[in-house]
Amino acid sequence: MPKKKLAVYTATGCAACENTILDIHYDLGSLTRSADIVFWPYVLGSQWDGLNEQGPVDVCFFAGAIRTEADRIAAVRLRSNSKFMVACGACAAFGGLPSLTDIHPGTPENRPEHLDEGNEFLLPKLESRVFALEHIVDVDYFVPGCPPTRDFLWAAIQSLVYMGDSPARMSFAASRLPMALAESITSGIVPPRGSVFAGEKAVCASCSRIKEEKKFRGFYRPYQIDPDSGRCLLEQGLLCQGLATREGCGGLCTAVGAACRGCFGKAEAVFDPGAKMVSAVSSTFDSTEASEIEGLTKTFVDLAGTFYRYTLATQCALKTPNAEETKHAPDNS
């Protein structure tokens, strides 16, 4: 069987998603025997001209949000050259941390396009707002996380590259995947388009912490409290988003006392993660006095940036971009 051709690219992001690909460690050797990575600027120093010479790409792992005009051009170009386009990481899948700039976009005169055009170090032209990859081109699959876990990324590679002929053992991630995705790893049948390589329920379903009666008596930022081991973090006043976030990570953050930050995006049954969190917290205030509730709500800090830390561009119902802001490239899958 001929080797598959892979492409890896990061738009506006930190390149941690690309490092996760390197973190598949010993499996990287088996991957290179079955596929050639023909375009990877971050690691190989690949040039766009070289991509044209390589011909069509089988799978493109695209990381990073669409923040600049150059990001949009790269997304469209890679989509037109790729059979499968995979949004790799929270920035590509949901807009990620870069999309938080849309809360306070700044004044027009401070935007790069209004700076001195004679400056050779002029920053790239910004888009009207931050977009997720699916706003610009058609996306076939999603691997969420900031960065994605090694196991789910490896599961995606096994499904789309090996096509049921993987020489490596299935990772623990298979038991956390929806049945259709787990079966595709061994069967060679391509998963349904739009599949997310993660779980379906909320993080709370796999969190090991004990859930008791939820009574929200006060809000604490992480540095203000040393949480009790074993008890639900939300019940201790930390804004843990496990009840609104897609599971699959195994509750790694909550296991060490860190509140879930929502990097896997919303759970399958959740419409808007921020609205879900507001409803959950407000319904558990340990008070019926309006003045006490008002005082408690004033202690919250940056709710928009907290509840939509990774998902503002795609999963906030009030921030969904309109058709005039996005131009979809044709579906080449």
Residue pLDDT, tens place only, 240-262: 999 999 998 888 899 899 999 99
What range defines the domain where residue 268 resides?
203-301
How many domains is the chain built from?
A: 2
**Is the domain of 225 the same as that of 142?**
no
Q: Greatest CA span in the chain, whole angstroms?
A: 70
Q: Is residue 313 part of a domain?
A: no
Q: Is residue 316 part of a domain?
A: no
**Is the domain of 280 the same as that of 244?**
yes
**Is the domain of 29 the same as that of 166?**
yes
Pick from 187, 211, 233: which residue ends a domain? 187
Give the pLDDT mean for 52-80. Answer: 93
Residue 329 has pLDDT above 60, yes or no: no
pLDDT band for position 163 (50/70/90)? low
CA distance 279 to 277: 5
Residue 325 has pLDDT above 80, yes or no: no
pLDDT for res 331? 43
Q: Of all residues in the chain, what percent carry a pLDDT higher than 90?
A: 41
Give the pLDDT mean for 304-320. Answer: 89
Q: Is residue 257 part of a domain?
A: yes
* DSSP helix/strand/coil, 175: helix
CA distance 212 to 8: 44
Q: Is residue 28 part of a domain?
A: yes
Q: Residues 203-233: pLDDT tens digits?
A: 998 888 988 877 777 788 888 889 888 889 9
172 vs 83 pLDDT, higher one: 83
Looking at the DSSP bridge assignments, the partners of residue 8 are 61
Residue 80's domain is classified under what CATH number?
A: 3.40.50.700
Q: Is residue 105 part of a domain?
A: yes
**What are the residues whose beta carbons fall under 8 Å from the beta carbon of 62, sequence distance 6 or more?**
9, 10, 11, 75, 78, 85, 86, 87, 88, 92, 133
**Is the domain of 182 the same as that of 263?**
no
Residue 167 has pLDDT above 80, yes or no: no
**Is the domain of 167 the same as that of 210?**
no
Name which of 269, 266, 273, 264 is nearest 303 in CA terms.
Answer: 273
Q: What is the DSSP letter of 202?
A: B
Q: Residues 44-56: pLDDT tens digits?
A: 888 988 887 778 9
**Is the domain of 126 the same as that of 47?**
yes
**Is the domain of 103 the same as that of 251?**
no
**Is the domain of 129 the same as that of 181?**
yes
Cβ atoms within 10 A of the Cβ of 197, count?
29
**Is the domain of 11 the same as that of 158?**
yes
Most confident segment among 127-131, 175-179, 296-300: 127-131
Q: Of all residues in the chain, what percent carry a pLDDT higher than 70?
A: 85
Q: Is residue 314 part of a domain?
A: no
CA distance 263 to 147: 8
Q: Is residue 194 part of a domain?
A: no
Q: Residues 274-292: pLDDT tens digits?
A: 999 988 888 777 667 777 7
7 φ, ψ to 5°? -130, 145
Residue 112 has pLDDT above 60, yes or no: no
**Is the domain of 80 the same as that of 207?**
no
Residue 324 has pLDDT above 80, yes or no: no
